Amino acid sequence: MLYFVATPIGNLADITFRAVATLKKCAYILCEDTRYSKRLLHAYSIDRPLISYHKFNEQKRIQGILDDLREGKEIALISDAGTPGICDPGELLTAACIAHDLPFTVVPGPNAALMALTLSGFPTGRFQFLGFLPKAQGALSKTLEEILHFNGTTIAYETPHRLVKTLLALEKLEAKRCIAIARELTKLHEECLRGNVKDILATVQATPPKGEFVLLIEGRKEGEKTWPEILTHVEQLQREMNLSLPLAIKCVAQLRGVPKREIYRVAHGLDQS
Ligand code: SAM
C-alpha cells in the first residue's frame, strides 16, 4: 500500500495520529528533501529511512516504487509541506498506481488552499483551485480575466516576489473586486488581509509582506458586470462590425444596460466601479 501522508504547513503540531502511525509502519518514506523532512521525523520519533522523491527524479523512481508495492511493501510519500500531490510531487505516482492496479490511499491533513478558503470568509460552496498562476504577463492577464468571470471563489498559490505583479495585473482588470491574502498560515505571523484589489495592493506596496501566501479572489456575483467582459464586447463590435469606439460603446451600453459614461471611463483607464 502506498500512503500519501499530509504533513504540517508550518506548525509542527499539525499532524494527525494516523499520519504518525502510518509513517512509523512504512518500509520507507519518500520525501522531497531528506534534510528538511528529518526535522519532522525527529520531532515524532519516526525512525524510518527517507528516500528523496522530487520533481527532478520522480520519473526515474517510479518503477522501483511500483516493484516494491507489488511485493506488498508499505510506503509513504510526504512533501515538504501539506498534502502531497497538491502543487507538490505525487500526481505521477497516483496515475501509475491506477494504471498498474496497485493500492494507494491518502492520510489527510493540512493543506494551505483549503485552510485559506475557510479563513477568507468568501463563499465556500463553489470554488476553484489554480495552483500557481502563470509567470508570463500575457498568460497571467488571460488567466486573471477567466478568474474574474468565475462565479465562485478562486484560490491560487503565490510567491512573495510575484504578489505585487499579480495584484497590479488584477487591478488593471477589476480594481474593486474583493480579494484576500492568507499569509504564513499556522505560523507565528499568520494573517489574512481582506479588501478590494486596490486597497490590498496599496497595503502590500507600502509594506512588502514576507513568507508564504495564498491569494483568494471572490467570485463574480450572479448578474454582475465584469469590466474585462464588457471591454471585450466593445472590441468585438469594433472589430467584427467595423464600428467606431464611441458607437461600439453606445451599443454595448444599450445591450447590457450599463451607463455609457462608465464604459468610457473604464475604456480610458479612468476608473472602475
Ligand atoms: N502541498 C502544499 C499544500 O498542500 O498546501 C502546497 C505546496 S506548494 C509547493 C507551496 C505553496 O503553498 C506556497 O508557495 C504557498 O503559496 C502555499 N503555502 C504553503 N504553506 C503555506 C503557509 N503556511 N501559508 C500560506 N501559504 C502556504
Distance between CA atoms of residues 224 and 166, nearest Å: 23
- In the reported structure, the alpha carbon of residue 81 is separated from the centroid of ligand 1 by a whole-number distance in angstroms of 7
pLDDT in tens, 13-34: 999 999 999 999 999 999 999 9
pLDDT in tens, 192-251: 999 999 999 999 999 888 899 999 999 998 767 677 778 888 888 889 888 889 888 888
Return the domain boundaries, the chain.
2-110, 113-217, 230-267
- Please give the backbone phi and psi of residue 108, each rounded to the nearest 5 degrees, phi first: -75, 160
Write out residues with Cβ below 6 Å of ligand 1: 9-10, 79, 81-83, 86-88, 111-113, 157-159, 182-187, 212-214
Cα angle: 94, vertex 100, 101; to 5 degrees = 85
Cell output for 184: 504564513
pLDDT for res 271: 55
pLDDT for res 270: 58
- Section 64-85 average pLDDT: 98
- In the reported structure, the alpha carbon of residue 250 is separated from the centroid of ligand 1 by a whole-number distance in angstroms of 46
Surface-to-core class of residue 139, CB atoms within 10 Å of its CB (0-12 exposed, 13-18 middle, 19+ buried): exposed
Answer whether CATH 3.40.1010.10 is correct for domain 2-110. yes
Distance between CA atoms of residues 132 and 159, nearest Å: 8
Nearest Cα residue to atom 23 of ligand 1: 185
- In the reported structure, the alpha carbon of residue 233 is separated from the centroid of ligand 1 by a whole-number distance in angstroms of 37
Q: Tell me the best of 87, 130, 133 to mutate to test the pocket of ligand 1, counting ligand atoms within 8 Å of each CB and taking the most.
A: 87
pLDDT in tens, 76-90: 999 999 999 999 999
Nearest Cα residue to atom 20 of ligand 1: 9
Residue 54, CA atoms < 13 Å, CB-side half-sphere: 10
What residues are paired with 179 via a beta bridge? Answer: 195, 217
Percent helix / strand / coil, the chain, rounded to 5: 45, 20, 35
Cell output for 170: 488584477
| CATH architecture of structural domain 113-217 | 2-Layer Sandwich (3.30)
- In the reported structure, the alpha carbon of residue 195 is separated from the centroid of ligand 1 by a whole-number distance in angstroms of 21
Q: Is the pLDDT of residue 272 over 70?
A: no
